Chain A
Amino acid sequence: MNTIHAINGPVVRVADTKDFSMLEMVYVGNRRLIGEVIGVSSDCTTIQVYENTAGLKIGEPVVPSGAPVCAALGPGIISNIFDGIERPLRDMTKLSGAFVAEGSAIPSLDEQRQFDVTVTVKPGDKLSGGDIYCTCPETPLITHRCMIPPLMQGEVTWAAPDGKYRVNDVIIKLRLDSGEEKELTMVQRWGIKTPRPVKKRLPISRPLITGQRIIDTILPIAKGGTAAIPGGFGTGKTMTQHQLAKWCDADIIVYIGCGERGNEMTQVLEEFSELIDPKSNRPLTDRTVLIANTSNMPVAAREASIYTGITLAEYYRDMGYHIAIMADSTSRWAEALREISGRLEEMPAEEGFPAYLPSRLSEFYERAGYCETLNGSEGSVTIIGAVSPQGSDFSEPVTQNTKRFVRCFWALDKSLAYARHYPAIDWNNSYSEYIDDLTEYYNENCGTDFLKLRQEIAAILAEENKLMEIVKLIGADVLPDDQKLVIETARAVRVGFLQQNAYHKDDTYVPLEKQKLMMKAIVELYHHSLDAIKHGVPISEVIKLGFFDRVSKIKFEIPNDELSMFDNYFKELDEAFAAL
């Protein structure tokens, strides 16, 4: 029997054994704590333990499970809240009260809950990996489709009739090509560190519409894309992720609270169950899965939480859904890697992070994508990862390495946050590489002027950035009128367009159509004013017309469902400037 030879924090070693394989799940000690093999050599096997190791003794048994750390995939995942290794936290409170106890072997999915199952295959059907054999409503929004596990194929020899089943009931029997007969329930298991296969990757072509103006118009993200939100403390990373999780047009949200605050997860739980999704009139929890591994929960499980989250997302993608993953925060995950690496006495690279940090980050972000699944449907996984740079310094290793693997970079800025400009995304330092991929979509769905307006807005902001260098030195009074106009317009863009109030009922989510009209309102005002100034009208006269104030408040004054009110604005604008 294998026994513990050494213990150092979450790292446990077993001496002289050849029984373990890399990344295998093991049970450690008499309390059967869950661990994972992270190093194998001829004289010792190294294990990281996902639970608190206090109280373990040398000589306690270590038992191999024969399989890698797996996620249980089946109905009952949506609306649930799990810890980093997919243990349901709600059920855990019934077992161990308010605190997380160790070694609690709770099944991930509720084994007693009954689902209304429709079986979609009959005996004689030939099925292969990814084919759907039964469906059931998981929440009022999401229909769960049970699929043959990838890499498996065979002929159906028996199928249960439609009816109510629990997750572990046998739904079909399959005779594999090898002749073996396999019973399939509604649950399958998949190793969290292995990406689930797809038929092929499709080119990226559709935006993830978030209703947040600076994102949708200036720095768009595509379905199947990757984005990073780096920002120091207090700049609103979590707030931005909450807004995206609430409003983006993905079918399912996987929200990973990785090493973050406990109260924040409580807030997500409370808010999402109260908030009603306007598109479906159902609480947001009906499309959300939460994975909570707060900062004080064991560090090795923090490392696993990211993989658990993405595995759940891939599973739903395979059913043909569009998933958005919010990972808050990937820096805590990187720190978990560093902590474990330090315990293993590995040679550190930059700032103590292990040398394999970039490859782990790229493996994670590469699991995003827009795909044709094994059963021929289309699905996508979009990853939006928050990064918490140490000392708000974007040159630190996690931010820099993340930047190499994401195509959308929303840099949050401290000075914007201090001025209470939210979302505090700094338009000068951020970028999105998706704009070219999405051009066709915008032209077809928002009109060809959408991107032109975007270009003009971006140009005004860039121009202002240059002018502000001068203003900081000598004040704005000395500038010529046309440059003053740029500054005035840019202010309107910042206050009226980029700033968005998450607590205002209309402003918290703005449809693309209104975003376009808002841009148009500012751009037309700029053109009219520029004309007037060229004809010798002083800028003070132009400002006196009051349109700059109006355009800054238009986001509150025109409700999202009464966009015809913009016609009035444009009419008055034309008349006022004609009179000048």
Chain B
Amino acid sequence: MSIQYLGLKDVNGPLIALEGVKGAAYDEIATIRLEDGTERTGRVVQMEGDKVILQVFEGTKGISLKNTKTIFSGRPLEMPLAKEMLGRVFNGAGKPIDGLGPVFPEKTADVNGQALNPVARQYPRNYIHTGISSIDALMTLIRGQKLPIFSGSGLSHNKLAVQIVKQARIADENSTNDFAIVFAAMGVQNDVADYFRRSYEENGASERVAMFLNLSSDPIIERLLTPLCALTTAEYLAYEKNMHILVIMTDMTSYAEALREFSSSKGEIPGRKGYPGYLYSNLASLYERAGVIEGSTGSVTQIPILTMPNDDITHPIPDLTAYITEGQIVFDRDLEQRGIYPALSVLLSLSRLMKDGIGEGYTRADHSAVANQLFAAYAKVQDARSLASVIGEDELSDIDRSYMRFGQLFEDNFLNQGFDENRSMDETLDLGWDLLCALPRSELDRIDDKLLDEKYDPERASRFLS
């Protein structure tokens, strides 16, 4: 019979304090039983002498200083894991909420995970095909990568996430490993969560998705657990069941805000914009759980989605995220307003691992040349546009005008794509060539002459011009 501690010393936001505790361990889990028989879960976050501070996952509503009994479990927060978790829906703390009963666990694991030894990592090289031209060609997603989407409120990042989930597949034919998705929603509105659930069902993707839902009205401490549960599940499926797992986490901004709320209720000294000084380490402990390890053929790939407050990419959340992740995919409000979907800002976006995962043997031999040339040409489009906004379009030189035209075509035909349109890598790269042919050959300075001889033909662009 374990010891029950009656009553509390203090309640402060999501935190409760107990006195006279013996033998509690840092980070261990406790059960708090209320008078009405309901149970809540808490975690030890600070200890001093016989005083212990717990964070309560479900919130402290209804807790008084004398109506609780607290029992320490002696174990860190663990969750049951099984392959059957795919196709199921869980709450933010990993408890099933789809009415199908508990998961029969094959094992349980500590949700905090442990740091991956860099020596045991394999450098990620194979790409994941998303069927979205801008991503596949210009910011290729690599297996084992963490590539966040930076968006803003009201932009179509959710739609893009759904499209990625329904179209994503492993591009490597030799790989027989299963591909599955772990989806973690943190602080999303009820109808957004519903949108995700419905779209997966409609597309028949549900059986390969494990969903963790923490709604915006759910307690914030549970929100801090959501990505931990999702990533623990992902690691189990990837490294023990040898599956390729794509983890989509939305919205990291809500997560960081929950962390700030938790930190300030603990009375910690705030860093920039009130976020705790350990925001970087905390985000890193999530993002660094992506990877490919020696001794397993599976992989964990992450697409965290975050909304930049006020579209500000220098805000601490996108800023620290991009310092940890291997690139970023950035939404552009101007393009969105022009009706382009997905409205991705090509120049601000980047995939750091792309250079080693494309080309001969991975995608296509000319991929890197096409991508470089598209980047370079589109960068010049911006120069031409800013010049045009000063001196007027009529005053531009012929070259600048052809860049203006190229920019328009590129956005309308390459970036812009239907929600149900799944383009193959060949289609995407050929489309890139068609568009480049709208420019004079002398402007294509990032492609070598041999390749140009083979591919360049001004006729290819004619279908856009008519």
Chain A residues within CB distance 8 Å of chain B: 5-9, 13, 15, 52-59, 81, 89-90, 92-93, 96-101, 233-234, 257, 259, 261-263, 265-267, 269-270, 292, 294-299, 332, 335-336, 338-339, 341-342, 345-346, 348, 351-352, 388, 390-393, 418-420, 472-475, 477, 503
Task: Answer yes or no: B71 CB below 8 A from chain A CBs.
Answer: no
Give B124's nearest chain A residue, CB to CB. A263
Cβ contact within 8 Å between B284 and A296: yes
Task: Say what secondary structure dominates the interface of chain A.
Answer: mixed
Residue numbers in A under 8 Å from B376 (CB-CB): 419-420
Q: Which of A92, A257, A263, A503 contacts B117 (CB 8 A)?
A: A92
Q: How far is the CA of A345 from the CA of B267 in the complex (A)?
A: 10
- Tell whether A262 pairs with B116 under 8 Å between CB atoms, given A6-B48, A234-B350, A296-B288: yes
**In the complex with contacts A98-B294, A338-B271, A261-B326 CB distance below 8 A:** yes
Q: Flag B1-31 by CB within 8 Å of A: 1 or 0 each.
A: 0000000000000000000001111111000
A420 lies within 8 A of B375 (CB): yes
Indicate whether A418 sits within 8 Å of B348 (C-beta atoms), given known contacts A100-B115, A297-B115: yes
B192 close to chain A: CB less than 8 A? no
Q: Which of A5, A52, A55, A342 contacts B269 (CB 8 A)?
A: A342
Interface residues as binary, B266-279 with A (CB distance below 8 Å gives 1, 0 otherwise): 00111110001110
Taking a contact as CB atoms under 8 Å apart, the answer to whether B272 and A98 are in contact is no
Chain B residues in contact with chain A, CB under 8 A?
22-28, 46-50, 76, 112-124, 144-145, 239, 268-272, 276-278, 280-281, 284-285, 287-289, 291, 293-295, 314-316, 319-320, 322-324, 326-328, 347-348, 350, 352-353, 355, 372, 375-376, 379, 386-387, 390-391, 395, 397
Residues of chain B within 8 A of A296, CB atoms compared: 115-116, 281, 284-285, 288-289
- The reply to whether A7 and B268 contact each other, CB–CB distance below 8 Å, is no
Q: Is the CB of B277 within 8 A of A342?
A: yes
Known contacts A89-B118, A261-B288, A296-B116; is-contact A54 B123 (Cβ 8 Å): no
- The distance in angstroms between the C-alpha atoms of A352 and B397, with both chains bound, is 52
Residues of B contacting A473 with CB < 8 Å?
390
The CA of A6 and the CA of B24, in the complex, are separated in Å by 11
Q: Nearest Cβ in chain B — how far from A60, in angstroms? A: 9
Jot down 5 A-B pairs with beta carbons below 8 A, ordered by A: A234-B327, A296-B116, A335-B277, A341-B277, A503-B355
Whether the Cβ atoms of B269 and A345 lie closer than 8 Å is: yes
> Could you tell me the distance in whole angstroms from the C-beta of A544 to the nearest C-beta in chain B?
13
A332 to B271, CA, bound (A): 14
Chain A hits for B115, CB < 8 A: 99-100, 294, 296-298
Q: Flag if A58 contacts B319 (CB, 8 Å).
A: no
B295 proximity list for chain A (CB < 8 A): 98
**Residues of B with C-beta under 8 A to A269:** 118-119
Please tell me which one of the listed residues B285, B314, B316 contacts residue A392 in the complex, with CB atoms under 8 A apart: B314
Name the residue among B50, B294, B315, B323 with the largest chain A CB count within 10 angstroms.
B323
Shortest Cβ distance from B269 into chain A, in angstroms?
4
Q: Note all chain B residues with C-beta closer than 8 A to A99.
A: 113-117, 120
B118-A335 in contact (CB<8A): no
Cβ A98 vs Cβ B117 within 8 A: yes
Among B117, B287, B348, contact of A89 (Cβ-Cβ < 8 Å): B117
B27 contacts A55, C-beta separation under 8 Å: yes
Taking A81-B118, A98-B295, A296-B284 as contacts, is the C-beta distance between A352 and B277 under 8 angstroms?
yes
Contacts of B76 in A (CB 8 A): 54-55
Q: Is the CB of B116 within 8 A of A100?
A: yes
Q: Check B123–A263 contact: CB distance below 8 A.
A: yes
